[in-house]
Structure 1
Amino acid sequence: MIKLQHVSKTFRVGKNKIEALKDVSLEVNKGEIFGVIGFSGAGKSTLIRCVNLLERPTSGEVFVDGHDVLKLKKKALRQMRRKIGMIFQGYNLLETANVYDNVATPLKLEGVPNEEIKARTEKYLEIVGLTDRKSAYPSQLSGGQKQRVAIARALAHEPEVLLSDEATSALDPNTTDAILELLLRVNKELGITIFLITHELNVIQRICDRVAVMENGRIVEQGSVVDVFTRPQQPMTKRFISTESKFQIPSTVKDDLLKSGRLVKLTFLGESSKDPILATLAKQYDVLPSIIAGGIDQLKNQSVGKLLVHLKGDKTQVEIAVGFLHDQDVLVEEVKD
């Protein structure tokens, strides 16, 4: 549905050049939710704005639904943009218009017939759960409600693709969860492909099928959410995940644990998450496992269990026990000094 090939973007600020994107290539499949994550300044916003040419790439190719958008004439580009909805962190609502008119006005400007405008506006306000607020003004709405209006406005154009530029960054955790559930519904029930950027790990984990990790204008790693965040390959990805880790413990505690055994991070996927593996390990080997920290991450289609475990016992037995964990398809990462 979206294909970027060797896309670069350079900005000129006075005599200086800023390379916001450097040879970026990725592909978003029809019907999936694809996320791009990275710290501030990584180039995420520039990247997503290149899809609908709010920013024109300096070089490279951009395809949407098989069309090379960089080669489209003005009229064809306008028609293509109607297939691409976009929501922003700042909502971009008309403060002097009520909820109904915020959704309906862009349709009027496109020349959509009045009956169709009414039908679409009411349909998508119902989908986002704001039918009872259609006469309210933005100043009377919460942040989550404003974002729902923005989503309804984008959906009213009945796009094939929805771009989300940090759409939940200004929201509290509970409201973020509600918006993510709404985006999941939009993707599943309406079949709309969603391409989003974020710096929030939980957004990627909750709703995305695949993810790309950006650093300094480049994509350093990409793949399925499960693979990237349970088997990170690049230092940047590992660093990003560690900032969200449940396993931050005081250095003095870690030092004491390392003196008396091995400290390992265990990740349980699929069938391994259902079995009492640590209990089995304690019974079969002369090793005492102690859980130091842990939790469960809910991905879009799968739960991932993570534990920080101290293994105390004879070195040989501990080594055998670690081998047993590997055999049970448990991902094992040793924590060192």
Structure 2
Amino acid sequence: MIELKNVSKTFTTGKKKVEALKDVSLKINKGEIYGVIGFSGAGKSTLIRCANLLERPTEGEVCIDGVDLTKLKKSQLRKTRGKIGMIFQHFNLLTTATVYENVARPLKLSKVPKHEIKERVDKYLKIVGLEEKKHVYPAQLSGGQKQRVAIARALAQEPEVLLSDEATSALDPNTTSSILELLLRVNKELGITIFLITHELDVIQRICDRVGVMHHGELVEEGSVIDVFTKPEHPQTRKFVFDEANFQVPDSVKKGLSATGRLVSLTFIGEASNEPFLAAITKKFDVVPSILAGGIDQLKASSVGKLLIHLQGDAAEVERAISYLEAQHVTVEEVAS
């Protein structure tokens, strides 16, 4: 559906050159939600803007349904862009136009017949839950409602692909949750492929099928969300997934830990998160587990439980307990104490 092949982008500011993207390749399948995560300056905004050629790559190919956009003439590119909708962090609504007029404007510019414009605007405002707000102005709307207008505007062009450029980063947690639910419904009910970028791990966890991790202009890791989330390989990915804020052990707690034993993190996937493994190892082995931190994250397709525990006991017994946990498909990772 969407394929970026060896895409690089270099900006020149005076005599200085900045490599925003470095030989990035990725493929997004039809009907999936693919997310790219990265910290500020990683290159993710440039990457998504290359997907519809708002930024033209310095090198590489950008293909939609096998057609390389970089090879198209202006008229052909304009027509192909009709398949690609886009929503932004700051909504980009016309403040002097009503909700109806904001959604209708791109259709008017594309010379869609008047009766069809009305049908589409009404249809997509209903889908985003704003059919009763069509005659009000953006200033009268909340941030979440403004983003829903922006989504309706993109959907009204009936695209095959929806690009989302940090669409929830300006919203509060509750509003973010409702927008993510809307995007999931758009993907499922309308079959629209969604390509999004974000710096929020929760967004990736909740709605994406696959994820790519950007760092200094490079795609350093990608895969299914559950694989990347539970078995991160690149150090940058580990910063997102195992942000030490969750697994930091205060010095006062460290001093209270027994010298005999090991500090480990446990990751449980799906139904395994409901199993009483810690109770089992206390019965099977001469070890005492102490829970220091933990929680359960809900991914799009599954749940992932994480615990930080100290296993107190003889080294051999602790090793046997760890081997038992691994045999039960629990991921065990040593944590420096």
Q: 1:246 touches 1:295 (CA, 8 Å); kept in 2?
A: no
Find the aligned partners of 2:274 and 2:253 in 1 and give their Cα distance. Answer: 30
Q: Which amino acid aligns with 2:184?
A: L
Q: Shift in Å at residue 245 of structure 1? A: 4.8
> Partner of 2:8 in structure 1?
8
Matched-pair contact (CA < 8 Å) for 1:87–1:163: yes
May I ask how many residue pairs the two structures share in their alignment? Answer: 337
Residues 134-173 of structure 1, C-alpha deviation per residue, up to 9 Å, x if partnerless? 1111111111000000000000000000000000010011
Deviation at 1:207, TM superposition (A): 0.4
* Partner in structure 2 of residue 292 of structure 1: 292
On the 8 A contact 1:20/1:46 being kept in 2, the answer is yes
Match of 1:328?
328
CA-CA distance at 1:260 after TM superposition: 4.5
* Greater alpha carbon shift after TM alignment, 274-283 vs 35-44: 274-283
* Identical aligned residues as a percent: 70
Aligned partner of residue 18 in structure 1, secondary structure: strand
Q: How does 1:48-67 map to 2 (within 5 A)?
A: 48-67=48-67
2-structure distance, mates of 1:154, 1:255: 56
Higher mean Cα deviation, 167-176 or 267-276?
A: 267-276
- Measure, in 1, the Cα distance between the counterparts of 2:110 and 2:332: 56
CA distance in structure 1 between the partners assigned to 2:154 and 2:245 by the alignment: 34
**Distance change >3 Å, CA 63–CA 227, structure 1 → 2:** same
**Which residue in the other structure is 1:254 paired with?**
254
Q: What pairs with 1:142-161 in structure 2 (closer than 5 Å)?
A: 142-161=142-161
Q: Give the Cα separation in 2 of the matches to 1:184 and 1:241.
A: 22
Q: CA RMSD in A?
A: 1.2
After superposition, the Cα gap between the structure-2 partners of 1:227 and 1:255, relative to the gap in structure 1 and judged at 3 Å, is: farther
Range with bigger deviation, 170-179 or 263-272: 263-272
Deviations 1:251-274 (A, max 9, x none): 331343263421111000134223
* Structure 1, unaligned runs of 5 or more: none
- Is 1:226 aligned to residue 226 of structure 2? yes
Q: Which residue identity does 2:172 align to in structure 1?
A: D
* Structure 2 residue 208 is matched with structure 1 residue 208: yes
> What amino acid maps onto 1:136 in structure 2?
V
Equivalent residue runs for 1:1-337 within 5 Å: 1-243=1-243, 245-257=245-257, 259-337=259-337
Given that residues 100 and 134 in structure 2 are in contact (C-alpha distance below 8 angstroms), is that contact kept between their aligned partners in structure 1? yes
CA shift for structure 1 position 184: 0.3
In the aligned structure 2, how far is the partner of 1:259 from the partner of 1:39? 37
CA distance in 2, matches of 1:60, 1:103: 34
- Distance in 2 (CA, whole Å) between partners of 1:140 and 1:162 is 26
Alpha carbons 2:260, 2:315 under 8 Å: kept: no
Calculate the TM-score normalised by the size of structure 2.
0.98
CA distance in 1, matches of 2:156, 2:250: 51
Name the CA distance, whole Å, in 1 between partners of 2:274 and 2:261.
26
Counterparts of 1:79 and 1:254, CA distance in 2 = 62
CA change 1:26–1:233 in 2 (3 A) is same
SS class of match (2:242)? helix
For structure 2, list consecutive stretches of 5 or more residues without a partner in the other structure: none
Moved more, 100-109 or 148-157: 100-109
* CA displacement at 1:248 relative to structure 2: 2.9
Which stretch of the first structure deviates more once superposed, 270-279 or 33-42?
270-279
**Cα distance change on mapping 1:245 and 1:225 into 2, 3 Å:** farther
